[in-house]
Structures are given as structure tokens and as C-alpha cells.
Amino acid sequence: MALGVIHPDYLLKKLTSTQLKEWELYHDEEPWGEVQQFYQAGIIASTLVNLQIKKGSQPYLATEFMPYYKEKKRVQTGEEMRDALLSILTPVKSDKNTIVKKRKKD
């Protein structure tokens, strides 16, 4: 459609993996299509709203006016999960291999 072909499967037969990767990298740098159009509209909407908010208020972001937009959340790796769990479950030990107790404040 936007690329001038009837169906994306047609391109899969014609493009090499290198060409496909180049298109993907180009899209990451210069996005096109629906997401880009929503972002452009979001910029306009957030600018207009931000002109009306009180000084010192948190400004609205363009992405807050985009439908279907979800921020990518970082997924914790298995190793990070294990380390976090071990840091909770492992008691703190002193040089003499005894558990260190917190002193009570007098």
C-alpha cells in the first residue's frame, strides 16, 4: 500500500535480509505511517494544552494524546531477579562470620 505493493508477502520474496534490515533501521530513525501521524498530532495537541496550564505544572507529553501508545517497559533479566532475591534472603555477615545485628538507639 504505502510502499506501492499489493501485499507485504510480495516484498518478502523480493528483498534480501540485508535490505529488510536497512528498511527497519531507517524506520527506527525516521518513522512513517500511523504512529508518526499520531505523534505529530500529539505534538500539536500537547503544545496547545501546555499553553493553557498553570506555571510550574507538569507539562503534557505528545504521547499522552496518542491512542495505542504504550511506553516500553524494561524487563528484568533472570539474573537481576535472582540477585534481588538473594540480596533480600541473604543475611549480612561480619568478618567473624556472625550475623550483624543493628544496635538499638539509647
Q: Burial-class residue 45 by CB neighbours within 10 Å (0-12, 13-18, 19+).
A: middle
- 97, part of any domain: no
Chunk the chain into consecutive blocks of 10 residues (it has 106) and report each block's average pLDDT, rounded to whole numbers.
70 85 86 84 94 89 82 77 83 58 56
Quote the pTM value: 0.46
- 12, part of any domain: yes
DSSP string, 63-84: GGG-TT--PPPPPPPHHHHHHH
- 44, part of any domain: yes
Q: Are 26 and 39 members of one domain?
A: no
Q: Are 2 and 14 members of one domain?
A: yes
- 63, part of any domain: yes
Can you give the pLDDT at residue 6?
A: 74
Can you give the pLDDT at residue 13?
A: 81
Q: Can you give the residue range of the structural domain that contains 8?
A: 1-30
- 84, part of any domain: no
- 50, part of any domain: yes
- 61, part of any domain: yes
Alpha carbon 35 to its chain centroid, in Å, reads: 15
Can you give the pLDDT at residue 44?
A: 96
Residue pair 62/48 in contact by the 8 Å Cβ criterion: no
Can you give the pLDDT at residue 1?
A: 47
Can you give the pLDDT at residue 105?
A: 58
Number of folded domains that form the chain: 2
Q: Are 6 and 26 members of one domain?
A: yes
- 94, part of any domain: no
Amino acid letter for position 88: I
Can you give the pLDDT at residue 14?
A: 83
Q: Are 5 and 26 members of one domain?
A: yes
